[in-house]
Amino acid sequence: MSVTHPLISHAKPTRELVTRNVRGVLATLSDQLFPYASMVDYAPLADGDILFLLSALAEHTRYIKVNPKVSLLIAPDLNTPEAFSKARVTLLGEIEPVARDRDCQQAFAAAHPKAQAYMMMGDFGFFRMAVDSARFIGGFGRMSWVEGSDYRDA
Q: Could you tell me the CATH number of the domain that includes residue 79?
A: 2.30.110.10
18 lies in some domain: yes
How does the average pLDDT of the chain come out, rounded?
93
The total domain count for the chain is 1
47 lies in some domain: yes
Q: Looking at residues 96-117, what average pLDDT do you find?
A: 94
pLDDT band at 1 (very low <50, low <70, confident <90, very high): very low
**CA-to-CA distance for 114 and 49, rounded, in angstroms?**
22
144 lies in some domain: yes
pTM (predicted TM-score): 0.91
4 lies in some domain: no
Residue 28 has pLDDT above 50, yes or no: yes
pLDDT at residue 9, as a whole number: 83
Domain hosting residue 94, numbered range: 11-153
pLDDT cut 70: percent of the chain above it: 95
6 lies in some domain: no
69 lies in some domain: yes
